[in-house]
Amino acid sequence: MTKTFMFNALKEAIDEEMSRDNKVFILGEDVGHYGGSYKVTKGLHAKYGDLRVLDTPIAENSFTGMAIGSAITGLRPIIEGMNMSFLLLAFNQISNNAGMLHYTSGGNFSIPIVIRGPGGIGRQLGAEHSQRLEAYFQAIPGLKIVACSTPYNAKGLLKSAIRDNNPVIFFEHVLLYNLQEELPEQEYLLPLDKAEVVRSGRDVTILTYSRMRHHVLQAVDILVQEGYDPEVIDLISLKPLDIQTITQSVCKTHKVIIVEECMKTASIGSEIVAQLNEYMFDEMDAPVTRLSSRDTPTPYNGVLEQATIVHPHDIMKSVKEIV
């Protein structure tokens, strides 16, 4: 076991898959000579050269379209968005082409593509660099959406995403790149469609993902000392949702709190509430509590920025109220 930063865990995943399969390549702004904005691709250009580590112009719609075209012909591209917010400029390509071409071609084309990069609310990055795109992409048919939260699951999930024959949107949080964890030296892969039960409990089910997993665990550490017994589930797969794991937990606790960094309106949490009402209504002993970011552009001002997101004390308060 070796202790590794998350950005290095992601680089190891890409490096291992590029070594394993010469059809895998990566492209994006500054991924080559510079090594990526957060150094996820550092050193890969020297190892694999210009044809497999492509520095692109600042033209998201164009290079996303190029990557989709290459996937149709049998390659396995990895797109790095310098910031995932910028991929709104490629929304047409991701939606009408990556998401739909397998269907609209009658199954003749597969789109084995990974679209990954930093997202979420950082530290004073401004509104345009603080988007949470999971809500934007959630409604697009044909996409898988994954949110990593630790170095361990980041590496295992990214390797699985690269091998998957479907388009995968792979969210990395900008504030988790320097998270450290011991990783196995042997190869491992993790399923793209499974949630992780981070902590078992009986009082309430807390559903979360990405950076909010760590806010939840900070709150839970204190709650346990005070006699509460929450169950914590890291969703990981945002599309499709692992409704089986969620259902098993709700049948035990009968109460649910959703903690997300996404905006509250039309969010991942909204979809979870809809499915709980549809499939689990009779198991619920209380209305679902949603803790989400405010429906505002993220302020640049640091104090105002912090006021828009969920914090551990908010989670503690909600657990005590619902229990």
Give the per-residue pLDDT at 1.
Answer: 76
| Catalytic residue chosen out of the listed positions 12, 17, 29, 60 | 60
pTM, rounded to two decimals: 0.96
Instruction: Just give the CATH number of 196-322.
Output: 3.40.50.920
Position 119: which residue type? G
Distance of CA 106 to the CA centre of its chain: 29
CATH topology identical between 2-183 and 196-322? yes
Give the per-residue pLDDT at 248.
Answer: 96
Give the per-residue pLDDT at 124.
Answer: 92
- The DSSP element (H or E) to which 322 belongs, if any, is helix 312-322
Q: Is 129 a catalytic residue?
A: yes
2-183 folds as: Rossmann fold (3.40.50)
Q: Where are the domains of the chain?
A: 2-183, 196-322
Q: For residue 25, what are its two tokens? A: 């390549």
Per-residue pLDDT of the chain (323 residues; tens, 9 = 90+): 789 999 999 999 999 999 999 999 999 999 999 999 999 999 999 999 999 999 999 999 999 999 999 999 999 999 999 999 999 999 999 999 999 999 999 999 999 999 999 999 999 999 999 988 998 999 999 999 999 999 999 999 999 999 999 999 999 999 999 999 999 999 999 999 999 999 999 999 999 999 999 999 999 999 999 999 999 999 999 999 999 999 999 999 999 999 999 999 999 999 999 999 999 999 999 999 999 999 999 999 999 999 999 999 999 999 999 99
Q: Is 60 a catalytic residue?
A: yes
Sign of CA dihedral 48, 87, 239, 260: positive
Position 129: which residue type? H
**Burial letters for 280-308: b for 16+ Cβ neighbours within 10 Å, e otherwise?**
beeeeeeebbbbbbeeeebbeeeeebeeb
Under DSSP, the state recorded for 87 is G
Under DSSP, the state recorded for 296 is S
Residues 189 and 191: their CA atoms lie apart, in Å, by 7
DSSP-assigned beta bridge partners for residue 180: 5
| Catalytic residue chosen out of the listed positions 102, 129, 173, 215 | 129
